Amino acid sequence: MDWLDRETKTRRLFKDCFDTEHGKEVLLKLVQDYHVFKTSPTPDPYLSAWQEGQRSVVLKILELVDTDLRVLRTRFDQQELARRNRQDNLNKN
């Protein structure tokens, strides 16, 4: 099996896994937790490197499954808005 065959197989495996509704939810959770659309500045260079490593893994998965980042960003923003609304409602009560 040559490199292209292995790469094609890997992409197909990742796409099959993350193309389901559950897979999309897992991707969204990874995006939220591992700094894909926002950074967490820190004066600690080791922590910064750790966070960038986490982010790069998620970005690689997104590349493998050929994710449309605009769609993912919209979904991310909708969940963030819903979370804030729930939090605001809890704070009002």
- The 10s digit of each residue's pLDDT in 3-57 is 889 999 999 999 999 989 999 889 889 988 998 887 778 899 999 899 999 999 9
Distances in Å between the Cα of 46 and the Cα atoms of 22, 42, 87 are: 33, 9, 32
Quickly state the pLDDT bin for 80 (edges 50, 70, 90): confident
Calculate ∠ Cα 32-36-83, nearest 5°: 25
**What type of residue is 41?**
P
Calculate ∠ Cα 39-19-14, nearest 5°: 75
State if pTM tops 0.75.
no
